[in-house]
Chains A and B, each alone.
Chain A
Amino acid sequence: MAETASIAAALDELARGQGPVETYSHSTDDVLANRRAARRAKRGISLNVIPMIDVTFFLLVFFVCANKTLDREELLRTDLSQRGVAMVNPTALTLDEPPLRIELFRKDNHTMIKVLAPMAQPESFEQLTEVFNSKRYSPENPNGLFPSDHPLELAPAKEVPWEDAVAAFNGLVRAGYQQIHFAEPQ
């Protein structure tokens, strides 16, 4: 009974934050319990980093997911100045020069290129870039036929895959031309 009373007194002291009471340690368990209690009492303010890690990882996941799709894309610039306005207001489509037409069509499961002008006919999109680049007028190329703002009309056939239409468009942009628009399918 006396032992119980002494333990209770020790715990009271611990509860008041008075530290370990060694004099009541009659067994190893009591000693260890008292030391643990003392450590808890002395601990004070501590930094719990687990929530911070949780939040950090969730933010990481969020931003990775949010940016994944956007990072995957690039954009080819074009506009609908000829085609779109022409549909509504034909008078707005008064071109100074007729557009040079480039047709794409399918043959033997391949997309072929046909330029409606007396010039070398490209056999690939790479050649399309080279041919049109060589025909582009600039101070460095005074023998060029077309200025960079000369309108080009890209006219893919109905069955031409979008990939090839975009490849042709991309080739003309790379050749330095600025006014390229898609025409109605042939």
Chain B
Amino acid sequence: MKLRLEKQPLEWIDRSQSLTFKIEGESIPAFKGDVISSALWAKGLKVMGRSFKYHRRRGLLSLANHDINALFQSVDYPNIRGDVVSAEDGLSLTAVNTFGNLTRDAGSLVESIAKFLPVGFYYRAFYSPKFLFPKWESLIRHMAGLGKVDTNWTEERKHKRYHYCDVAVIGAGPAGMSAAIEAAKNGVDVCLIDENPFIGGSLDYQYVNESSLESVRDNLNQTIEEMPNITVISSAYVAGYYGDKWLAVNTQSGLIKLSALSVVVATGVFEQPAVFRNNDLPGVMNASAAQRLIARYGVAPCGEAVILTSNPEGYRAALDLRKAGIQVLAVLDTGRPSHDWYEQVSDLGIPVYKEIQSIEAHGKKQLHAVTFQVNGLSHTLDCDGLLMSVGWAPAGAPLYQAGGKFSYDEKVQQLLPKTLPQGVFACGRINGVFDIYDQFKDGKQTGLNAAEYALNQTLSPCDVLKSPTPHSHSYPIWDHPKGKAFVDFDEDVQLKDLKGAIAQGFDNIELMKRFSTIGMGPSQGKHSNMNGIRILAKLTGKSIDQTGSTTARPMFHPTPVSHLGGMRFRPERQTALHHLHVGSQAKFMEAGNWLRPEYYQSDLNRQACIEAEVLAVRESAGLIDVSTLGKMEVFGPDAANLMDRLYTMTMSNMKVGASRYAVMVDDTGVIIDDGVAVRYSENHFYVTTTTSSSDSAYRLMQKKIVEWGLDATVLNRTGQLAAMNLAGPNSRKILAQLTDLDLSNEAFPYLAMRQTQVLGFDATLIRVGFVGELGYEIHLNASDAVPVWQALMAEGAEFGIQPFGVEAQRLLRLEKGHIIVGQDTDGLMNPFEAGMPWSVHLKKPFFIGKPSLAKLKSLQKRKLVGFELLVEPSNGDSDESPLESNLIIESGDIAGRVTSVAWSPNLDKTIGLADVTMEHVELDKLIHIKLTSGALIEAKVVPLPFYDPDGKRQRPEELLEGDVA
């Protein structure tokens, strides 16, 4: 292992556990605790990936979860980040987006034609001649993209958890740890979240050799471990700050949805690379990356290092390298240092060049020299490491998402939080606090504030601890006539590209991003946005604040679909009678979440089964499970008023013991639901909704009660109650066997409702006629449904009773011309157009949609009509049969559409409903249906209902006065 160092004091690797993985066939030794990149680097394999556009060789940059150039794929996953993903024994990886492999990549030919491919080149060509564009597009698409997807991958879904705490601290560096401890000491529950496997942050890689901090570090670690009210969530990041202190915390085992009373953002800063020629050569890296490499993995970043710096951190890195036995050839300072670390470095005999004027890196496959200018003189140093320490940018995504505002601080040369929402706090380097002891202090005072906020106490005042001197270069960018000065490593965006974009008018930060693609890659600009802002500000002569920044949206890091989607939860609802239907060979269909019998299977084919069910209902008796209907009970002094306001018909004058058809429309008069309402008592109604609208109708009712300030309550009893409809000429005889109630027409007329007992169980009976026969809808507790169904079937056996399904019911109701909301109505149909003017009681003072319906009454443009075919299609030829949604075409124009159509075994012809314009609604008028094949067939408008026009069958006795529509 070429670059592996002696054991480091705080290293994360376990040298007693060796493992081996493979990159493009080559075996890579590693220790447990290594990430892919550290193991590769230890072996001296510095080319870890090929760049996005030019396929240049790339190595380590940050080792902080934005090394998009060290991106790998395995047979199982597409985009594996080498700088954070653990090396696992047996893992086999290849680099993404190469045309060949890491060493030989045909894609690098792109670089040889780079001058023809300036920023936004793809907007400039490939579109003419038009017919060639698909070829070019295919090529461009294949050149773009990163990892490969295997569409045979199986689905992975991870569990989600909810968690609650008083104070959430994001980032467990020196400030975050201090904040967590201080908050916890004040008696609140704290969650301390860090993306690394261990807490410590910069304390454990930037301050490893500060002996004075050893005891502080131990103390922090020990306190956090011992305090029972601090929960450490490690290897986890806050993917997004949503809503009010609602954090999506992504862990390796799944998502935690964390709700906190206050939030401390101690996420720190991202080190920003300098921009100069060949700044992307393997061997050029952020100084903090080198420090992480040494401290965490015991790997030397190089043999001979040059450090480019604008801040004290660069000097500290020099000392760390020296301590690890790495030769530091020189420190190149962009300014004139005046701090202690400069003295320490000088004392070690390391040359320090001050006020360097330019810098350039050299190397073919990796860095081998650096050229720089001081006082007009050019110097070249051979080296294999160039560490950049020129500045920082806030890891401010959670603050931005919380609604915080940043402004640029000229003293620190960094964007600092300016205003933060209540209960959201920031501390540490994100706050511009760089002195390590000040970071502890800032954490402490912020932790106190966060606890106070959570406890609803007055906030103690805080000291401003931000650094008096800059820690970032105001413009760490050195242009070169030959280019190759990279700003965004994900996207291969160079300084010249940004200059080109700006010159062409993309001189707004968002436009520059969109045109040049800076910040659009997987790291979302973590190492490029700040330099992009600086470049734009400089070239347009504006300040950083005037220039602004792009929006920091979730995700903080790309977050797996398997975590966000989580475990699959699709409830499937079965009625209380489900197992009976199974026993009767029901063929089920999905109706929303419900399963309903479509029909009951026998030796016959589907159509014959359905027809047998239909005939049973028409000739004797049938029984259908209608438990999926929405079932609402409405109580209270304002119950009648509420019902009047919700439905188009007057409900308040309905007698107790009666029922009424209930149509609901929206504000524009469009039918949205229908059902049956009954009145149990003066202040107590019960109403059904369609299966699909039970939830929406319930929500609407609740909302309107509040909106209108009514003293009424709605209870959604959909799941508690079962319902079945016993229909057919023999239904009365069958039901009579199970109840003492007088079922005679005088005692229980059509459309009446009775509360009684069936088979000894409490039940509500409603005499309805949806399918057009004498019938009773029976509503009862779900737990009582099975015996009642079985008893009805047993009593009905001698009459040949049949259970019937949704398909038979659809045909039965069609024969009666009854509509199905959502099938025969569309997004605009009102009750007049649906042929139900009688259902609209405009004399009521108010109901939803009344103002619209009052106008629409005289504006009718179309209507639902019944039709029958003039010539029946030849048997079995479905191409000749009209389908629902086939159009009505008159004189070449669309005049309507078929909403329902079926062959009626009772009427021995094809019947249907059609929504047609008013010119075509007259009886006996011929209309033309355009079949799917394009052929037109003739149909005739006929009166509704098709079957039993006088309604004698649902009211076998003469119609009595009562609540009848």
A and B found bound together: no
Using CB atoms and an 8 Å cutoff, list the residues of chain A in contact with chain B.
Answer: none
Using CB atoms and an 8 Å cutoff, list the residues of chain B in contact with chain A.
Answer: none
